[in-house]
Chain A
Amino acid sequence: MALKKWLDRITLLDLFDGLSVTGRHLLKKKVTIEYPEQKKLPSDRFRGMFRLDEERCIKCTLCAIECPINIIYIDWHNEKDEQNKSVKVLDRFDVDLKRCMFCQLCEEACPTVPKSIWLTTKTYEMAAYDRNESLYLDIRKLTDWREAPNVKPFTVVERG
């Protein structure tokens, strides 16, 4: 046993083994995704940028109640429509995105079918120079938010 150990030691077997691993990888396929030119698309359930459908929303404020960090602000008032029925009209629906932790509890709380607020927009490129302006979403941004056009064309990399 001791002799075998010595054999390993003087022939530097362990070191050569290690070198062989890195040496093999030298020629193997690389796993880097070169980001702006190559992108891995998010999955269908990916939790990213918010979207709101004002038509579907019944102004129940459940999403604001369920939010763990209280970043959804909803104000509404009653109005009479043509049939003289009382309807709720949104004054304000704001999401303070810069504090959001993307837990999706608001979407889960939403009682409408399909959901009126959802995060599965597959958008994650939300970097901005001014967090208070760009990352504070009001109704206009929530309902009509568009991704910045891609400056460079990119190829899609397979997942997994």
Chain B
Amino acid sequence: MTLPPAFWTYLKVVLLVALVPAIVGFVVVLAERRLMGFMQARLGPNRVGPQGTLQGLADLLKLVTKEDITPSRAEKAVHSLAPVLAVIPALTALSVIPFGPPVRVGRTVVPLWVADVNIGLLFLLAITSIGVYGIILGGWSSNNKYSLLGGLRSAAQLVSYEVPMGLALVSVLLMTRSLSLVQSVRRQEAMHLWFVFPGLLAFFIYFVAGVAETNRNPFDLPEAESELVSGFNTEYSGVKFAFFFLGEYTAMIIISCVAVTVFFGGWLPPFPNVKALEFLWQVPPALWFLAKVAAFLFAYIWFRSTFPRYRFDQLMALGWKWLIPLALTNILLVAFAILLTPGWTTGLVWLGWTLGVLFVLAYLAAKLRQKLARRERLAAEPHPVEG
């Protein structure tokens, strides 16, 4: 008996829509709170369930049972629509992410993605930017000045950070020659090269823009708690707030998934073509994918617990004056590397080596200089007691 392909598609959709919120609620949020706690020399939530594992359930129960308040003089329809707008595109975008190579179930081969769209990246960029409307409309419809400011901030921020993000992905397109995400993984396998090496700059730009796109620290201006009292979601409570929350974290997951797929070889284990490391293939590819995504989410959490927040105008300056020119330069760089060398791969490999070595050398030099400067300063400091 063979099940029709449509069955598998429906199953995958249901799994994604049911699983992702659960993962977000139970794993990501808990991991964020506990890891941030560890980094801040404290324990984080560890009361609900063993080691706090059921904290997500408690949070969910709290949010669901909370009173749903719509402020007076708010635009009621838009106020209710906004959270939905924030969460639906984020979940939709998951459909094109390839979580692993096709697997065999009985006699059918089931791909681990809902759809391999040939305009995958374009679709992703398009659908995730709809999520911006949720934030803008939510901020505007709340009839609260702080929310309005938050919404306006996010309008400017998210729209302008789409540009460097798209430009960074253009340079990857030069390497993959396809917009399809599955193709980009296959190409990395064929070229024996993760695209993060030649695309170091592109990756940097993409990730910075991605952090900005998801309103996370250090770019969490629309919800800046200490300035705008949570910004656009100040007037939301209960399930609506949970939707915003879910939308934000799903967006984080999508940004990480795309980064992994495009730059870090998707489901491929590290060094997929080295003979000595072949045992790495024993791990299911989907697990490699999840591990890489987890690493990215960890980076998100690490950033949040370390960096201060940019100011609104400085954020715009960073985007327009630094990231966009840098992205354009990077496109040229990659294009020339491909054009001026024989074959498709040679130039990219050379580019990868050059960028990597240059960065490591520069970093070591800077670190050394810092160490020497500190030693000098310590030598000049007076003794604490004798003076």
Q: In the complex they form, do A and B come into direct contact, defined as C-beta atoms under 8 angstroms apart?
A: yes
The prevalent SS among residues of B at the interface is: helix
> CB-CB < 8 A to A69: which residues of B?
none
The yes or no answer to A127 lying at the interface (CB within 8 A) is no
The yes or no answer to B118 lying at the interface (CB within 8 A) is no
**CB proximity to A under 8 Å, residues B160-195:** none
What is the bound-complex CA distance between A26 and B34, given in angstroms? Answer: 10
Knowing A11-B359, A21-B306, A32-B43, say if A26 contacts B366 (CB, 8 Å): no
Please give the distance in Å from B218's CB to the nearest CB on chain A: 9
The yes or no answer to B367 lying at the interface (CB within 8 A) is yes
The yes or no answer to B370 lying at the interface (CB within 8 A) is yes
Segment at the B interface, from A2-10, A115-123, A131-139: A2-10
- How many chain A residues touch B (CB < 8 A): the figure is 21
**B305 contact from A10, A16, A22, Cβ within 8 A:** A22
Q: Are A7 and B39 in contact (CB under 8 A)?
A: no
**CB proximity to B under 8 Å, residues A5-27:** 7-8, 10-11, 13, 15-16, 18-19, 21-23, 25-27
- A28-56 interface code vs B (CB 8 A; 1 in, 0 out): 10111010000000000000000000000
Q: Are B307 and A18 in contact (CB under 8 A)?
A: yes
What is the bound-complex CA distance between A30 and B44, given in angstroms? Answer: 10
**B370 contact from A13, A25, A27, Cβ within 8 A:** A13
Q: Are B42 and A11 in contact (CB under 8 A)?
A: no
**CB proximity to A under 8 Å, residues B325-378:** 359, 362-363, 365-367, 369-370
What is the bound-complex CA distance between A10 and B322, given in angstroms? Answer: 12
> CB-CB < 8 A to A28: which residues of B?
41
Knowing A18-B307, A21-B306, A30-B38, say if A7 contacts B366 (CB, 8 Å): yes
**B366 contact from A8, A27, A32, Cβ within 8 A:** A8
The yes or no answer to B316 lying at the interface (CB within 8 A) is no
What is the bound-complex CA distance between A25 and B38, given in angstroms? Answer: 7
The yes or no answer to B273 lying at the interface (CB within 8 A) is no
What is the bound-complex CA distance between A115 and B303, given in angstroms? Answer: 56
Knowing A7-B369, A8-B370, A23-B302, say if A30 contacts B307 (CB, 8 Å): no
What is the bound-complex CA distance between A152 and B71, given in angstroms? Answer: 44
Please give the distance in Å from B288's CB to the nearest CB on chain A: 23
Q: Are A7 and B362 in contact (CB under 8 A)?
A: yes
Please give the distance in Å from B330's CB to the nearest CB on chain A: 14
What is the bound-complex CA distance between A26 and B305, given in angstroms? Answer: 11
Q: Are B363 and A19 in contact (CB under 8 A)?
A: no
> CB-CB < 8 A to B43: which residues of A?
30, 32, 34
Q: Are A23 and B39 in contact (CB under 8 A)?
A: yes
Q: Are B369 and A4 in contact (CB under 8 A)?
A: yes
The yes or no answer to B35 lying at the interface (CB within 8 A) is yes
Q: Are A11 and B35 in contact (CB under 8 A)?
A: no
Closest to A10 in B: B362
Q: Are B362 and A15 in contact (CB under 8 A)?
A: no
Closest to B365 in A: A7
Please give the distance in Å from A69's CB to the nearest CB on chain B: 36
Knowing A30-B41, A31-B41, A32-B42, say if A19 contacts B302 (CB, 8 Å): yes
What is the bound-complex CA distance between A88 and B173, given in angstroms? Answer: 97
Q: Are B307 and A15 in contact (CB under 8 A)?
A: yes
Q: Are B363 and A30 in contact (CB under 8 A)?
A: no
The yes or no answer to B40 lying at the interface (CB within 8 A) is yes
Please give the distance in Å from B323's CB to the nearest CB on chain A: 14
**B302 contact from A7, A22, A30, A32, Cβ within 8 A:** A22
> CB-CB < 8 A to A11: which residues of B?
359, 362-363, 366
Q: Are A26 and B307 in contact (CB under 8 A)?
A: no
Closest to B307 in A: A18
Closest to A13 in B: B366
**CB proximity to A under 8 Å, residues B28-66:** 35, 37-43, 46
Q: Are B366 and A25 in contact (CB under 8 A)?
A: no
Q: List 17 A-B contacts (CB under 8 A).
A: A7-B365, A8-B366, A11-B359, A11-B366, A13-B363, A13-B367, A18-B306, A22-B302, A22-B305, A23-B39, A23-B302, A25-B38, A25-B39, A26-B35, A26-B39, A30-B42, A31-B41
Given A8-B366, A15-B307: 7 more A-B contacts, CB < 8 Å: A13-B367, A16-B363, A22-B39, A23-B39, A26-B39, A30-B38, A31-B41
**Which 6 pairs, one residue from A and one from B, show the smallest C-beta to C-beta distance?**
A22-B39, A11-B363, A32-B43, A7-B366, A32-B42, A13-B366
